[in-house]
Structure 1
């Protein structure tokens, strides 16, 4: 994977948060660790106007790329 040289951290979750993460992982067909990474990147891309975050989201999240494409298409049909 791409994260061999990444930063390590411990993520403490409540039982409900862990269940939500497990559901995300199941929906995405990935590990909870990967689901947490995707969630961070996706949330950052949605909230921040930052080109490097958007590029990272496109690389790591098929869902984000599909959503971005739909938004671009909708914006194009409005103008």
Structure 2
């Protein structure tokens, strides 16, 4: 059985998690957050990711509850 292009409709927790963090930059953001990176500018410096990409990935991770925005 071939996999589709997304996993959002699958009834599998691993497939749904892959839908959230399965993109390269997203997984690297999660990794850096796990290792203690907390500030936007630090993510930029560590990852070398374009600003628009980083902003989108951080927002998506906040929306699904993986990360939390704090002052």
Q: Could you tell me the TM-score, scaled by structure 1's length?
A: 0.32
Q: Could you tell me the TM-score, scaled by structure 2's length?
A: 0.35
Q: Greater RCO between the two (CA within 8 Å, min separation 6)?
A: 2
Larger-gyration structure (1/2): 1
